[in-house]
Structures are given as C-alpha cells and as structure tokens.
Amino acid sequence: MMSKLTQDGLKAVVAKRLVKLRQRAKMTQTELGEKLNYSDKAVSKWERGESLPDVYVLTQLADIYGVSVDSLLGEEDPEKETEKGFVISTPMITAVSVMGIWTLAVMVFVIIWIVLGDIFWMVFIIAIPASLITILVMNSIWNKGRHNTEIIMALVLSIALLVYLALLPRNHWQIFLVLVPAEILTLLCCRIKRPHSTGSRVEKENVES
C-alpha cells in the first residue's frame, strides 16, 4: 500500500492514524510530546500532515499506542490489530504491584498475630517505603522519571519514620534533624540532570519540517 502513496499521501495517512490513536489513548499533544521529548508543536505538525516522524519516533509511537509501525504507515488497520491484542495499562500494573505489597503485609501481620499472639503493626510501616520503591521503579520505566523527585523525597521521609518508630521506646526524635538536609540533598541531586532545553526541541522540529 505504501508504494502506491505519494509523500503527501503518506503524510495524510500517518496524520490520520496518529490523531485517532492519540485520542483513543486519551492523551493531549503536550502529554505525548513529553513522552517523546518533543514539543507539542512537533506533534501538531505530524497530526496535520505537515511532516513525518522519523523511524525511531514511529517505533516509540507504536510502543506507546500498543500497535505496529505498519499500522501507523497505513499498511494495517489499527482497529483490527486492537481486536487481536490488547493495550497494557501501566498505572494499573503499578497499582496491582503496590496492592500486592500491602496484601503481603496484611498476611504477615495476621500470621504473626495468630502464631505468636503479637500485634506487629510495624509491618505496615515497612510496607510504605517498599511501596514507594515499587512506584519509583515503575515510574522510571514507563514515565521516564517524571515526578521521581517527589517520590524519592517521600521515600526518604518514610525511611526516617520507619527508623524512628523502630526505636520508639527510646524516643530518638533527633533522627528528624537529619531529615531536613537529607531532603534538600535529594532535591539537589534530582536537579543535577536538567531536562532538554527548548532549543534542542526546536532543532528537532526543524529536522522534521
């Protein structure tokens, strides 16, 4: 099919498919651009048929939408392809993983309560940093580290809380004095790697146009 299309015709087909798939994924042009590290103007050009994404971007788009590159180029019907397969919900995978941690925590709590007769409530405190670590890993994989700073700062706070409660009989409140510089250090470390500047995105747009 692609051999029968002119360059303008191919741009029109790709543009139509991109609009349809983005709307089906319930994403804005800005959100898609952030995932691809492109501006929303570049995404708008693709969806208006003014330019074509390069091969690497097409591969990224296919992964995001859960379709093949051929379907983006008009060689396959994305609707038929969707009927054969399925689209994975990454937020749901994260939610299931976190819920698994808390289910395990409840199981341990109940077992200790039944077998030893002790109410070991600290198991739920331990589940907090474990959940945050899971969210951090999932977020780094699927969202390219967006909001990782907030997650890491919450993780540092949860670890400090865990240590304090573990030593609660001695009431070592001084632990929280370390928390302030630790949170500042975390924030500074996360700021070391700066995002791409607007200039780099403009260069990408010029290459595409």
Residue 127 confidence (pLDDT) above 90 = yes
* Structural tokens at position 41: 């103007």
- Whether residues 17 and 75 share a domain: the answer is yes
pLDDT tens per residue across span 3-13: 445 667 788 88
Q: Specify whether 126 is located in the same domain as 159.
A: yes
How many CB atoms sit inside 10 A of residue 208's CB? 16
Return the CATH number at 44: 1.10.260.40
pLDDT in tens, 132-158: 999 999 888 877 777 888 898 899 889
Q: How far is CA 116 from CA 108, 110, 113, in A?
A: 11, 10, 6
What total number of domains does the chain contain? 2
Q: Is 95 found in the same domain as 60?
A: no
Provide the CB-side half-sphere exposure for 133 (13 A, CA).
Answer: 8
**Full-model pTM:** 0.52
pLDDT band at 77 (very low <50, low <70, confident <90, very high): low
- Name residue 42's amino acid: A
**94 and 81: one domain?**
no
> Is 144 found in the same domain as 78?
no
* pLDDT mean over 33-60: 87
